[in-house]
Amino acid sequence: MKNFHTADICDARPDAKIIDIAFRDYGRRRIFHGPVTTIKAFEDNSLVHAALEEKGNGRVLVVDGGGSLNRSMLGGQLAAKAALNNWSGIVVLAAVRDIHEIAMIDIAVKALGTCPQKTNKQGQGTRDVTVKVGSIPVHPGDYLYADEDGIVILDKPI
């Protein structure tokens, strides 16, 4: 499904959950969708790095970084790796860096903001757990649809 608009999804699907955070767009792509894989980690992107090394197969990585803007959970090298490995997009509830690089990569990246400081890699965090993005729980296997209007979560694809 290439052409969709989150507003139309909301009109057609009363079960749609709307992420109530205004993320910023950083990647070259602005519209993306796919089944969700989640990571919960605070100021440590070890699991993000490991996940993006895998084949994405059109999945969306949702990273709950606790809203921290003190360390960057994703940079240009990881965004390039995500694009190469066929990830549809990345949503980061935290900061990213290297936005001049990310803007040139054919990947969708939504994040709260930027921070030039990288994380300390200590191997901390959890993967494929339910995370809360704003007031909305996001489960591994949910379907995420995003465009310039926002992010919609569904329990099954449209």
CA-to-CA distance for 108 and 90, rounded, in angstroms? 6
Superfamily per CATH, domain 6-154 = Ribonuclease E inhibitor RraA/RraA-like (3.50.30.40)
3-state secondary structure (DSSP) of residue 44: coil
Encode burial over 77-96: b for 16+ CB neighbours within 10 A, e otherwise: ebbbbbbebebbbbbbbbbb
pTM of the predicted model, to two decimals? 0.96
Can you give the pLDDT of all 158 residues of the chain as single tens digits? Answer: 568 999 999 999 999 999 999 999 999 999 999 999 999 999 999 999 999 999 999 999 999 999 999 999 999 999 999 999 999 999 999 999 999 999 999 999 999 999 999 998 899 999 999 999 999 999 999 999 999 999 999 999 99
